[in-house]
Amino acid sequence: MRKRLYEVIEASKEGDKLSIVYDLIMICTIVISILPLAFKENHSYFFYSDIITTFLFIVDYFLRWSTADYKLNDHSVSAFVRYPFTPWAIVDLVSILPSVSVITGGGFQLFKLLRILRIFKAFRYSKSMMIIYKVIKRSRNALLAVCTLAIGYIMISALVIYNVEGDTFKSFFEAFYWATVSLTTVGYGDIYPVTPAGRAITMISSLFGIAIVALPSGVITAGYMEALREERDREKEENRDKNDPKVLNKFNSGRMYKEASKKS
């Protein structure tokens, strides 16, 4: 029973109509729950829709918690203890808290903004987003190394430009902001160096920025392509098993045995 419940609440598989319906209900619930962020007025409709969506989120949270042993592939009590501290469980919990605060009369603006995290809940119902999540998790060491390199380069660029362009940058935060913008080659133009030395540093920073920004894109793209190949191989393996005469004969034999048992 709980295993079937786990199959329903997880991302739907091909042919599982009940799971598809559940996914659609949760996606609609997520969309309805973040609609109030698009309006400045507080309509009474939003209050009641918040109560309903929050109730569904709470039910979904406890259903997932009750099947934590299947999710973590650990059929012991520790699975239920560890589940609330997993990334997806934390996202689920944090997405519930804003509505609980508003309904109980808290209404803090920060809590309202936390509703945006509900968008991440929708990712688990998309196979493509789940593949990207797995790729990022798998490539976290490489991405962490790139982030460390980027932060180090931003710090160095900010320190250099802050000392070269002392009159232009009034604080180190402005220099840090400029270095970040230059690294990503966005170039808003609100803060810029005016001396020849400062402009030379800007050109060097932008050129290196292109290379540093391209690194995580390459890592994620390579991991995504590898994950797609694994997904295709898995689907081929499943289709091969379905079409395998031995598997079909075993399935048919089991079905005939069940029918004979019912008749007897």
Where do you find CATH 1.20.120 in the chain? 2-125
At what angle are helices 127-138 and 196-243 packed, to 10 degrees? 120
Domain at 2-125: CATH code: 1.20.120
Q: Percent of the chain having pLDDT more than 70?
A: 80
Average pLDDT, the chain: 78
As given in the structure block, the two tokens for residue 224 are 């995504």
DSSP class of 222: H
For residues 119 and 37, is the Cβ–Cβ distance under 8 A? no
The count of other CB atoms within 10 Å of the CB of residue 18 is 11
In the chain, CATH 1.10.287.70 covers: 141-258
Comparing 109-123, 186-200, 237-251, the range with the smallest average pLDDT is 237-251
Neighbouring CB atoms inside 10 A of 169's CB total 21
Q: Residue 115: pLDDT above 80?
A: no
pLDDT (tens digit, 9 = 90+) per residue, 9-62? 876 566 678 888 888 888 888 888 888 778 877 777 887 888 888 889 889 999
Give the whole-number percent of the chain exceeding pLDDT 90: 4
Termini Cα distance of the chain: 26
Determine the Cα–Cα distance for residues 99 and 32; give it in Å rounded to an integer. Answer: 13
pLDDT of 4 higher than 60 = yes
3-class secondary-structure state, position 124 = coil
What's the confidence (pLDDT) of residue 254? Answer: 52
Cα–chain center distance at 183: 25
Q: What dihedral angle (degrees, nearest 10) is formed by the CA atoms of 231, 232, 235, 237? A: -110
Q: Which CATH architecture has domain 141-258?
A: Orthogonal Bundle (1.10)
pLDDT at 257: 44
The pLDDT of residue 155 is: 92
Q: Cβ distance 62 to 54 under 8 Å?
A: no
